[in-house]
Amino acid sequence: MRRRDFVAVMGLGVAAHPLRVHAQAGPSGGAAPVAPNLPVVGFLNSAAAATYRFNADAFREGLAQSGFVDGRNLRIEERWANGDYTALPALATELVDKGVVAIAATGDIASARAAKDASKTVPVVFTIGGDPIRFGLVESFNRPGGHVTGIMFAPTLLGAKRVQLLSELVPNVKRVALLVNPDNFNAAAEQADSEAGAAKLGVQTMVLRARNAAEIDAAFAELVRAKADAVIGGTDPVLLDRREQIVALADRQGIPAVSFTRAFAVAGGLMTYGPNITWMYRQAGGYVARILKGAKAAELPVMQSTHFELVLNMKTARRLGLALPRTFVASVDEVID
């Protein structure tokens, strides 16, 4: 039950000098056979294809909305780091060596940096949580300069808010475990924001660091020993990639689990608060399409998602025995039942 769905866009770019790549009908009016020498677009992500496919599909939807379809008038080469941030530079270089005309560097700053550093000329469109100026990806929001632009949101605005929402829904929470990926460039800033928000509410925090499945298991063992009342996952694609594992572990302990985007609530997490990540990937597809039509990354303003959505899994709330305040339910953008 979605009540609102809007975003603010920082500026509008103008596409020019269209690339001569168009789908053509076959002799009978159907689709023509796949033409040779199609332009190649790279898709780079730090997570795994099996569990992050929904976002890759959203990227393809963004391309298709502008008339570009994989196998018809372009080819998409995907590269997945499977949770290993150190693999990203080599994967980005591999895409450049394939002769890609653009790279969608998605998921985080590590992907964007790897793609940016792999070539000084291949256009890069990122989806990140973080300030692209601070991390040296662009010169400014309105005129990025160079060969990089994209879509972003500010994760440091969300940590304290998630703690607040958790305390409203589960008022007896005394200690919250913050699950973070230490390899994420934004982890420290988001952790500080969450800790500050918790301190204002008199809630204790403990930090659990995890990069992979084994470390997530170890983190939950520590959580149990410390008798934490809830867990909040950081804004990180690798942690979202492991959402089924995190939800199962939280369910086993009978504690609420909170994260940053809808897919976590769909997997059984109690709730999520953050940007519409699927929207961001769709916009990235649209930006790559504009580059294929001749737009320059340097002149495409960085797009910022400013609407954060609250998603609640009602079935999980019932299983945890939570009494849902009417005011809280009224503020929810989507209820999953």
pLDDT digits (tens, 9 = 90+) for 254-308: 999 999 999 999 999 999 999 999 999 999 999 999 999 999 999 999 999 888 9
The predicted pLDDT at position 306 comes to 80
The predicted pLDDT at position 6 comes to 29
CATH code of the domain covering residue 253: 3.40.50.2300
Taking alpha carbons only, the member of 254, 194, 253, 244 closest to residue 220 is 253
Q: What distance separates the 2 farthest-apart alpha carbons in the chain?
A: 71
Q: Are both 212 and 326 inside the same structural domain?
A: yes
Q: Are both 185 and 249 inside the same structural domain?
A: yes
Q: How many CB atoms lie within 10 A of CB 302?
A: 26
CB within 8 Å of 170: residues ≥ 6 apart: 229, 230, 256, 320, 322
When pLDDT is averaged across residues 208-234 and rounded to a whole number, the result is 97
Q: Are both 165 and 79 inside the same structural domain?
A: no
Backbone angles phi, psi at 305, to 5 degrees: -80, 120
Q: Are both 180 and 319 inside the same structural domain?
A: yes
The predicted pLDDT at position 35 comes to 54
The predicted pLDDT at position 36 comes to 63
- Report how many domains make up the chain: 2
Measured between alpha carbons, how far is 235 from 272 in angstroms, rounded to an integer? 11
The predicted pLDDT at position 5 comes to 37
Q: Are both 164 and 79 inside the same structural domain?
A: no
Q: Are both 287 and 229 inside the same structural domain?
A: no
Query: Is pLDDT of 30 > 80?
Result: no
Q: Are both 241 and 325 inside the same structural domain?
A: yes
When pLDDT is averaged across residues 34-49 and rounded to a whole number, the result is 88
Return the higher-pLDDT residue of 181 and 27: 181
Q: Where are the beta strands (DSSP E) in the chain?
A: 40-45, 75-80, 102-106, 124-129, 148-153, 175-180, 204-209, 230-233, 257-259, 271-274, 303-304, 309-313, 334-336
61 within a domain of the structure (yes/no):
yes
Domain hosting 47: range is 40-154+275-304
Residue 337 · residue 315 · CB < 8 Å: yes
Share of the chain above pLDDT 70, in %: 89
Q: Are both 173 and 110 inside the same structural domain?
A: no
Task: Estimate to the nearest angstrom the gap between the alpha carbon of 233 and the chain centroid.
Answer: 13
Q: Are both 199 and 314 inside the same structural domain?
A: yes
Q: Are both 261 and 281 inside the same structural domain?
A: no
| Single-letter amino acid code for the residue at 187 | A
31 within a domain of the structure (yes/no):
no
Query: Is pLDDT of 243 > 50?
Result: yes
Q: Are both 291 and 205 inside the same structural domain?
A: no
225 within a domain of the structure (yes/no):
yes
Relative to beta strand 309-313, strand 271-274 is antiparallel
pTM here is: 0.85
Q: Are both 170 and 222 inside the same structural domain?
A: yes
Query: Is pLDDT of 34 > 70?
Result: no
